[in-house]
Structure 1
Amino acid sequence: MKFIVDNWMLILIALSSGAMLAWPLVRGANTGSLTAQGAVQLINRERAVVVDVREPEEFAAGHVTGAKNVPLAQLEEKLTATVKNKTVPLLMVCASGARAQRAVATAKKLGYDKAQAVAGGLKSWKEANLPVEKA
């Protein structure tokens, strides 16, 4: 007991650092994030549809081959017209993954239960040396 009282600050630091290390694992457990390689498998095996939620100028500069561009601000209005089949896996992509996570929530609200975000966005796609095309 004396050890705990004398070293309470070190124990607090150890617990805090452990919590910070575990936070990404806890936070990422239910986000629906998917690696670039996992996305390729879904595209090949289940004919997943890639939806790029970046702005048209960003999309034109380079995007996942075969992706459809539906900017995040217009997702609720245009997604059902762009991707009619709600049973296929829907892969959301943006520059780094942040907008794609918000897009997944919107897509699920619209009935796309298999919507997932590609973790790291187009950046991780390029880092995995996967094909990118320009409009």
Structure 2
Amino acid sequence: MRIITLLFSLLSFAILAGGTQIGTLDPRALQAERENWLVLDVRSQQEFEAGRVPGALNTPHDKIEQYLPQLADDKDQKIVLYCRSGRRAAMAAEALSEQGFTQLHLLEGDMPGWQDAGYAVEK
């Protein structure tokens, strides 16, 4: 699993979309500076309600365009996205990048990585 996460992190770091490089963020870094990040949980509403990173907003990846008006003022905000495995988060990050969002990151290990690090889960 760690190898898959590492490979995905390297791949996602190399994604270039709309001129924005999409980076990764370690769960420890997010925990230490959560107030400086807009945290987007791109999983389904059901997954979100089962448990999420504290303070995360639910913006399902397949409906990300519907949330663009609400996120319009955050185009230069540091944003971290996560899902269960990284696939949906990468898709949502690419969509946001295409809309001009400039500081996009994927949470390393996604929700399982957050939980494995022992951090609190909000319900």
Is TM-score (shorter-chain normalized) higher than 0.5?
Answer: yes
Moved over 6 A (4+): none
- Could you list the per-position Cα deviations for residues 83-114 of structure 1 after superposition, in whole angstroms to 9, with x for gaps in the alignment? 63211101101112221111111111111110
1:132 is paired with a residue of what secondary structure? Answer: coil
| Aligned counterpart, 2:104 | 115
What does 1:47-126 align with in structure 2 at a 5 Å threshold?
47-82=36-71, 84-126=73-115
Checking the alignment, whether the CA contact within 8 Å between 2:39 and 2:80 is kept in structure 1 is yes
Question: Hey, which of these two has a bigger chunk of helix by percent?
Answer: 1
In structure 1, which of residues 19, 40, 46 is the aligned counterpart of residue 31 of structure 2?
A: 40
Higher RCO, 1 vs 2 (CA within 8 Å, ≥6 residues apart): 2
Give, as a single letter, the amino acid of the residue that structure 2 aligns with 1:84.
Answer: D
Gaps of 5+ in 2: 1-5, 16-22
| Letter aligned with residue 62 of structure 1 | G
C-alpha deviation, 1:30, in angstroms: 1.8
Q: Report the alpha carbon displacement of residue 79 of structure 1 after superposing the two structures with TM.
A: 3.2
What TM-score do you get using the length of structure 1 for normalisation? 0.72
After TM superposition, the score normalised by the length of structure 2 is 0.78
